[in-house]
Chains A and B, each alone.
Chain A
Amino acid sequence: MNLFSIAFKSIKQRLLTSTLTSLSVALGVMMMIAVLVIFGIVDRTFNQQAIGYDLIVGPKGSDLQLVLSSVYRIAPAIETLPYDYYQQLKNDPRVEEAIPITMGDVTQQGGFPVVGTETTYFLREYAPGKKLLIRGDGFREAFDAIIGAEVARQNGWDIGSQFTLVHGGAESDCHHDEKFTVTGVLKRTGTPNDRTVFTHLNGFYAIAGHETPVEQMVKRYREFFRVIPGGEKDQELKDLIKQAKEEEAKSHGHYHGPDSTVMKDVSAIFLIMKAPPGESAATTSILFAAQVKKGFQAQAVNPIFPMQRLMTQFVGNIRQVLLALTIMIIVVSGIGIFVSIYNSMADRRREISIMRALGAQRTTVFAIILAESILLCFAGGVAGILLGHGLLFFVAPIVEAKSGLLVDPFSFEPIELVLLPALIVLASIVGIIPGLTAYRTDVAKNL
């Protein structure tokens, strides 16, 4: 019989107390696991050191909201930009690629965000060295859709599946009648793309209810481009208005989407910059962003900076506070183990004296008590890890629905490897005093 089997017998003898003390450790560890895994996912999702775009151009407003809405798709879009501005950026010699996106709808089933974009979105790297892989054909018609891996999994959709959209949010009453057909499924990327439904930009524009009155669009156009009456842009605009009004008259209630660019808008534009000789893409981006801010009702942001700010100033601090709380819970549980074992020592003096009379050394009985403390903590730790991941299994759909974060309950954080050794250290510390009581037991008096 080794020390641990002897200690285990003692634990079994005081099963209720032992279970409760171990459970208190398990609950502390469970909470710590939940905090670690969720914040690990938050960290990996939002604290990317690089994404595939140099700049994101969007309407003026919060840079963080622009990134959260366009890249992470967990915040509403700020406003829109004229489609002509996208074309202007696309033709800018400093821009290698401009990818437009439109947002605002979600799928009726599952409430996944819908992004209208162009095929170029799938051809460019979404992160350095990583490209989106599509199973299927991709966009062929306006109402074709490419869906993320998680959308396919959760909704049970595959190529050929048809679905409809809801305007604004899954709880919205404004249902769109247009049926979209899945023509491609993305391979899992571990990014927000997994839970996004992509439609072609033209399909997005062709959805009835997306049209805005001509006068309103023209007003925005004028403000954005600061159109001076009688100027060159004013004449261009007049032609576009004429085209838009003709389209409106022809539609007879059957909306097929605008051809006039004045009637089109985009939520954001992803830019990949060209690096001129002797200059880095980063420098070009900084200069370009400053120019955008000055010249238009728009902003161009490097998507990494607002997210790093969010992580360090807000999320990181919350994580530290929660971790500190869970550590305190575990320490309190450890003290519970100490109290439980220490209180039992008075009853166990005879048991210890018998072992000593049978030849157990003082260090042996000390080690038995320490082993008991370690077993209780270790069992609590293992149970806590299982309960923690089990808890995540149940809360993952809720977190996902509320925040858009993909929580994998079986996601393993490397720090979990440290948890059990740390618990053993804690158990050894709390076991020292009861162990010393056993060590000092007077055998002759207690037999």
Chain B
Amino acid sequence: MALELKDIQKSYREPDGTELPVLNVEHFLLGDTEQMALVGASGGGKTTLLNVISGISSPDRGSVTLDGTNVTRMPEPMRDRFRAERIGFVFQTFNLLQAFSALENVLLGMSFSGRKVSRTRAKELLEHVGLGGRLGHKPAQLSIGEQQRVAVARALANKPSLLLADEPTASIDVANQENILNLIRKSCEEEKVALLLVTHNLDIAQQFGRVEQLAEFNKVGGQS
């Protein structure tokens, strides 16, 4: 199994001091190279779940295991390194660094892993997502769709075993949503990367072989 969650609980403290439970996941599995869509309403804990899986946030209880390694037990610096090497992120708002060119954004993704930064791989990835001619363009000089393509290339730069995509098509016009989705799925297939895509869009979710409702296995409702 690529990813396994066990007894995950996460809650936030409200300003008045009361606890607000957000996640309560007994068990969740995602196989190697498996692609699945996780559907949930806004505020259903989707983003919190992705943060817990990636190690950005720690769960209050439970364990996250990726490629046989218990991520939750790692000290934070190791968790950061592990995230850089094993997990790719595609965000709803792309989260590209505006001061960096397309190529530099991809290279930046590589620099935080312990591996050697490969300019050649970065270029190949950008060519693969159709941006071979726009390597030196800054995000502001690229269209919305192109920016998300750069984000996909960056997410795959370190050959991760898991790609987390948080509403990756939500900011993109309908005509391009399909293209981006296909690009993410195809790239994950080619790179042999497991894909967990969260969305509130059922049309998007239905294109996946495995679709799960977050509400079905998250025993609490709350804010993400």
Cβ of B74 under 8 Å from chain A: no
Q: Is the CB of A358 within 8 A of B112?
A: yes
Q: Is the CB of A363 within 8 A of B97?
A: no
Determine the distance from Cα of A355 to Cα of B112 in the docked complex, in whole angstroms: 8
Cβ of B95 under 8 Å from chain A: yes
Please give the distance in Å from A259's CB to the nearest CB on chain B. 86
Residues of B within 8 A of A364 (CB): 112
Q: Is the CB of B51 within 8 A of A361?
A: no
Residues of B within 8 A of A398 (CB): none
Find residues 131-173 in chain B having any chain A CB closer than 8 Å to their own CB. Answer: 154, 158
Residues of B within 8 A of A399 (CB): none
Q: Is the CB of A361 within 8 A of B81?
A: yes
Q: Is the CB of B56 within 8 A of A360?
A: no
Cβ of A1 under 8 Å from chain B: yes
Determine the distance from Cα of A358 to Cα of B108 in the docked complex, in whole angstroms: 8
Residues of A within 8 A of B213 (CB): none
Residues of B within 8 A of A9 (CB): 97, 99-100, 104
Q: Is the CB of A447 within 8 A of B91?
A: yes
Residues of A within 8 A of B65 (CB): none
Bin the interface of chain B by size.
20 to 34
* Contact bitstring B67-85, A, C-beta under 8 A = 1, else 0: 0000000001100110111
Task: Report which of B56, B96, B100 forms a contact with A443, defined as CB distance below 8 A.
Answer: B56
Find residues 309-355 in chain A having any chain B CB closer than 8 Å to their own CB. Answer: 350-351, 354-355
Give 6 nearest A-B pairs by CB, closest first. Answer: A359-B84, A359-B112, A13-B99, A9-B99, A1-B111, A361-B80
Determine the distance from Cα of A10 to Cα of B77 in the docked complex, in whole angstroms: 24
A residues engaging B (CB < 8 A)? 1-2, 6, 9-10, 12-13, 350-351, 354-364, 443-444, 447
How many A-B contacts at CB < 8 Å in the complex? 70
Residues of A within 8 A of B56 (CB): 356-357, 443-444, 447
Q: Is the CB of A359 within 8 A of B80?
A: yes
Q: Is the CB of A6 within 8 A of B108?
A: yes
Known: A10-B99, A444-B56. A1 touches B77 (CB 8 A): no
Q: Is the CB of B111 within 8 A of A2?
A: yes
Q: Is the CB of B117 within 8 A of A1?
A: yes
Residues of B within 8 A of A356 (CB): 56, 80
Residue of A nearest to B154 (CB): A358
Determine the distance from Cα of A111 to Cα of B96 in the docked complex, in whole angstroms: 67
Residues of A within 8 A of B98 (CB): 13
Known: A1-B117, A6-B108, A356-B80. A447 touches B95 (CB 8 A): yes
Q: Is the CB of A363 within 8 A of B51?
A: no
Please give the distance in Å from B216's CB to the nearest CB on chain A. 24
B residues engaging A (CB < 8 A)? 48, 51, 54, 56-57, 76-77, 80-81, 83-85, 89, 91, 95-100, 104, 107-109, 111-113, 117, 154, 158
**6 A-B residue pairings within 8 Å (CB atoms):** A2-B111, A9-B97, A354-B95, A354-B97, A361-B81, A447-B91
Residues of A within 8 A of B111 (CB): 1-2, 6
Q: Is the CB of A444 within 8 A of B51?
A: yes
Determine the distance from Cα of A13 to Cα of B100 in the docked complex, in whole angstroms: 9
Determine the distance from Cα of A349 to Cα of B56 in the docked complex, in whole angstroms: 15
Task: Report which of A1, A2, A354, A357 forms a contact with B54, defined as CB distance below 8 A.
Answer: A357
Task: Report which of B81, B99, B104 forms a contact with A359, defined as CB distance below 8 A.
Answer: B81
Q: A355-B97, A358-B154, A447-B91 are in contact. List 12 more A-B contacts (CB 8 A).
A: A1-B111, A6-B111, A9-B97, A9-B99, A13-B99, A356-B80, A357-B91, A358-B83, A359-B80, A359-B83, A359-B113, A444-B51
Task: Report which of B57, B77, B109 forms a contact with A358, defined as CB distance below 8 A.
Answer: B109
Determine the distance from Cα of A2 to Cα of B117 in the docked complex, in whole angstroms: 10
| Residue from A358, A444, A447 having most chain B Cβ neighbours under 10 A | A358
Known: A444-B51, A444-B57. A361 touches B77 (CB 8 A): yes
Residues of B within 8 A of A360 (CB): 80, 84, 112
Please give the distance in Å from A169's CB to the nearest CB on chain B. 61
Residue of A nearest to B155 (CB): A358
Please give the distance in Å from B86's CB to the nearest CB on chain A. 9
Residues of B within 8 A of A363 (CB): 77
Residue of B nearest to A359 (CB): B84
| Residue from B51, B109, B158 having most chain A Cβ neighbours under 10 A | B109
Q: Is the CB of B104 within 8 A of A358?
A: no
Residue of B nearest to A1 (CB): B111
Residues of A within 8 A of B96 (CB): 354
Residues of B within 8 A of A355 (CB): 97, 108, 112
Determine the distance from Cα of A355 to Cα of B109 in the docked complex, in whole angstroms: 8
Determine the distance from Cα of A356 to Cα of B84 in the docked complex, in whole angstroms: 9
Residues of A within 8 A of B54 (CB): 357
Q: Is the CB of A1 within 8 A of B95?
A: no
Residues of B within 8 A of A354 (CB): 95-97
